[in-house]
Chain A
Amino acid sequence: MATSILSKLLTLIEESSGAYSIQALARELDVTPAHVESMLEYWIRKGKINTSTNLTECGSCSAQGDCPFVLEMPRTYELVMGQDQQSDLDPHVMCTHK
């Protein structure tokens, strides 16, 4: 019997059958999008959600972060499923969130 908005947020993401936008979550929970982002940060700290970062460098490419083809992609938050299949690469090694 989850009563907190924080738990409801996690349940909504867990039970969703597809991608959610921050705005849609805010509407469902009757809070502001900024409030949703703030609560997502909480779940990131708790290790329940991962967040993606933007790519700014491509290995040995000479463009070194100035590649005009790297689009600024939106930030995404993903439910952590299991640890067994996690990538052994740390995206923070090469990428920084814009």
Chain B
Amino acid sequence: MTKTIALAGNPNVGKSTLFNALTGSHQHVGNWPGKTVEKKDGLLQFGEQEIKIVDLPGTYSLTAYSIEEIITRDYIVNEKPTAVVAVVNAANLDRNLYLVTQLIELDIPVIVALNMTDVARRRGLAISLNGLSERLGGIPVVETVGNRSEGLEALVDAIELVTKHPHIGNVQTGFSGIVKEEIGNLREEIEDQENLKDTYRPGWLATKLLENDQEVINKLDSLGAGELLTSAQAARKRIENQTGEDPEILIADQRYQFIDKVIDSAVERPRKTAITRSEKIDNFVTHKIWGLPIFMLLMWLVFQFTSNVSGPFLDWVDVFINEFILKWTVWMLDLLGMGNTWVSSLITDGIIAGVGGVLVFVPVLLFLYLALGIMEDSGYMARAAFVMDRVMRWMGLHGKSFLPMIIGFGCTVPAVYATRTLENEKDRKLTAFLATFMSCGARLPVYVVFGAAFFGASSGTLVFAMYLLGIIVALITGFVMKNTVYKSQPPAPFVMELPPYRIPRPRDVWHQMWERTHGFLVKSGTVILGVSVALWLLMAIPAHQETGPFNQVNPGDSLFGRISGLLAPVFKPAGFGSWQTTGSLMTGILAKEVIVSTMSQIYAGESQPVEGNTATFQEDLVSVGIGFGRAVYLTIQETINIIPRTINLIPFVDLGELDLLPSDGEELDFTRLEGSLIKAFEKTAGSPRAGAIAAVSFNVFVLLYIPCVSAVSAMRQEFGRRWMWAQITYTFVIAWVASVVVFQVGKLFFI
């Protein structure tokens, strides 16, 4: 008769890899009878002997809670394989040994294949094979690394040994007190019944009856074992009366305690009471009082770093695109006889101004993604939700809601989908709603260009203020909605896995930074390019015949200028009621970066061409190279200057900043767009100071108004059309009200 060995184990422990290594090409794949779960079996050959190997479904336990658990235990109980190989993840013994103890309880020979031992070793775990075997009642324990086929010989030897000399382990000693006593009593009763003794392992059946396993109880009922069931019920009652616990919980608890003892004696691991370095850091970083200020300070540092440190490179890219590329493109177009034609206008005023206007901000995004990558890889990002839990809970929101909101700092679309991790439908909708107020990466170029134009070295503070305002508006909105339209039960408590802190790995940080920036570059070459061309066309078409011919019309008199002008009065109370800003906000609904590209195109169309640069191509190239060197130098300076700027946050402290390249009294270096914005906002608002307040008001509007079309369609897909329109209306109204308040109150205080 062919002997059978079953492979059992938790999901993802390398069971299938071991199965493949043992059976090679001698495999048969089908389904378990009446089930959609895949069944695999194969033949293991050594010498002239053939052993059937059956790959059981991955399962954590042998209770009756899932189809996989039922298949596994029914197979072992009914088919009675010669032995079971329990494949165990050595790096996660606590979780894996739970199944092993239950397999041994089935009174069948078990072999433990300790897989992934390489991972366990890397985690500093030293496992004694003999110690483990001894504590599990002398069953064979072999070490394997399935993906490298290591330890296969030892496993085959153990299988051969067990098939010749079956040895049953013993974990009954794991049970104690009244549980052990009642299992013993029931076992004796089962052993007295011939029909049950032959079908079930008495010890296992006794345990299952105490666990009140309905599947087993139903089967026994159909076998007419009513007396045994009555005894089991009485035994359960006795346990409950004596311990105050459900016997099922008590049995599971004793298994866990047994496992803990097994691991304590067989594995060298950090002491339970030892405080790890990560915990020491957490005691401070996630502290109930300090946690929040630390989170705020880190956010402030991120935006100082993003705005100021990237500044020199931003200026350099601006010069490279808007001077070098633009100048030599015009030269080439002239050479090809296309100077001053619509083709030339499309390329310079449409594509270079639009796409180039956004590409200027690549250094800003690179630095933002670098900072976020460091926070993510160090393990801090996970703590942010933990820290924010107290604030969220205080507002009646779920602490877990902050996780999708953190994703919203990158992009709103995945943030909306990430709400799927919340169980409560109301929490899901509310969190998706709030996530749209988080400043996504696409809004950053807007803050940076306005920050640099109106606030110079303090631009980082404006960016930080915008991110903070987004969180505050989200919390207030959540608080109001949770107490009105979305009244529900208090948020459920939750537990979070906090990854250990580690020094960020440069390769991982670089990968994240590059992947995210690459996404932005792809968007520039597709969405933004398309919008720029369409916008150029709308700005080239005259609104009326008398305003000029195609492509020779003043931007304000173009079709785009006139349509934008119709809506501009809506924004007058907010201080930015010009057709230029209105038009930018309109196109910004397609993608937030488009606000900057639109402004770049509008102001490029309005401004006079730069003249007087008669340098040759080589001279310009050298100038670009020198500019790059200067940018590197200034970046180092700005990085160092974060230290005094941070210390200067303390009242009455004023440390000087490093100035490696003194400006010699030169004027502040603005990009072409920044210069145009200063003039335009001053003109619309009435004075330089009012212009700066209007700039802040405009940024507040950009932060809060209707999210981009991709985010809106994600909302529609997840929550329906009604919810989408509610969000569009709410975000527009809240953005308008907030920007009007900022402008009007700002004027009262500062003018």
Interface residues of A (CB under 8 A from B): 1-7, 13-23, 25-26, 30-32, 34-35, 37-42, 45-46, 50, 52-55, 57-61, 63, 67-82, 85-89, 91, 94-95
Contact = CB atoms under 8 A, between A and B. Distances in A.
Contacts of A41: 60, 95, 98
A76 B390 contact: no
Given A30-B272, A67-B411, A68-B515, A4 B253 contact: yes
A42 to B, nearest CB: 6
A7 B253 contact: yes
B420 A94 contact: yes
B94 A35 contact: yes
A89 B94 contact: no
Interface string B474-501: 0000000000000011001111111100
Given A58-B714, A89-B420, A76 B494 contact: yes
A20 B494 contact: yes
B570 interface: no
A41 to B, nearest CB: 6
Contact of A60 (B61, B92, B259, B717): B717
Contacts of A82: 489
B163 to A, nearest CB: 31
B407 A71 contact: yes
Which of B272, B403, B414: most chain A CB closer than 10 A?
B414
Interface string B447-491: 000000000000000000000000000000000000000001100
Contact of B256 (A22, A39, A46): A39
Nearest to B125: A34
B25 to A, nearest CB: 29
Contact of A23 (B269, B282, B381): B282
Interface stretch (B224-232, B244-252, B353-361, B572-580): B244-252
B386 interface: yes
Contacts of B66: 45
B15 interface: no
Given A7-B253, A74-B382, A80-B423, 11 more contacts: A13-B494, A13-B495, A18-B389, A35-B260, A54-B421, A55-B417, A58-B417, A69-B410, A69-B413, A73-B407, A95-B420
Contacts of A73: 382, 385, 403, 406-407, 418, 421
B515 to A, nearest CB: 4
Given A23-B282, A94-B420, A70 B60 contact: no
Given A23-B498, A41-B95, A86 B423 contact: yes
A88 B425 contact: yes
For chain B, give the interface size range: 35 or more
Given A59-B417, A59-B714, A95-B421, A85 B489 contact: yes
Contacts, number: 225
Nearest to B61: A45
A55 B60 contact: no
B677 to A, nearest CB: 28
9 contacts: A2-B245, A5-B256, A7-B253, A21-B286, A37-B94, A37-B497, A70-B410, A75-B496, A76-B495
B535 to A, nearest CB: 23
A87 B273 contact: no
Contact of A7 (B249, B403, B499): B249
Contacts of B279: 23
Interface in B397-433: 399-400, 403, 406-407, 410-411, 413-414, 416-418, 420-426, 428
A24 to B, nearest CB: 9
A17 B417 CA distance: 28
A31 B496 contact: no
A14 B512 CA distance: 37
